[in-house]
Amino acid sequence: ALHVTMKLSIATLILLFSTFCFGGSMEQGKAESQQLMDAVLPLAEQLLAQHGEFFPYGGAMTPSGEIVSVAAYDGDEHPPSSEVISMLQQAFISAAQSGEYKATALVYDVRVPLPETGEKSDAIAIALDHESGYSVVVLLPYQLTEQELRFGNIFAQAGDNGVFK
């Protein structure tokens, strides 16, 4: 039941955030971003549940609609997350410029103030960018105890549209 509620609220959020977008086919951009997010999010949930953490990773949608995994590696076994995020961002930008992707998702761990309380929480962040100009960062707060992984209320903010310039 958790996943069903989550998907409903994600869809609602993505609809709300259409006001931040312009040009292109926004409906298609939102739908494809939703599809990409549904494909990449389970890995973060699984890694958190099994290991209590995860390194940033990415996913992308090709022009044909295929979803592919995107990883960054520079030879360092434990690179700082900020470097991995930066490498993934650069890979997305160059692939977007050459027409390899029509949507990208960058998944990483953050600490964010919760909209309800302002209290800081760990969260899975999914930065979604689409060639239509649709750009949003979806945040899924979580609490990890020795017994379980619990998710809070999902929320979103406008993305910086940094991939498809």
Q: pLDDT of 17-35, one tens digit each?
A: 444 444 447 788 889 999 9
Question: Does the structure show a pLDDT above 80 at 84?
Answer: yes
Which residues does 32 contact at the CB level (< 8 Å), separation at least 6?
61, 65, 102, 103, 130
CA distance 144 to 84: 23
Distances in Å between the Cα of 97 and the Cα atoms of 11, 77, 90, 91 are 28, 29, 11, 10
| Nearby residues of 81 by Cβ (< 8 Å), 6 or more positions away | 55, 56, 108, 109
Mean pLDDT of 44-63: 91
User: How confident is the model over 91-143, as pLDDT tens digits?
Assistant: 999 999 999 999 999 999 999 999 889 999 999 999 999 999 899 999 999 99
Which of 26-35, 55-64, 72-81 is modeled with the greatest confidence?
A: 55-64
Strand partners, 110: 123
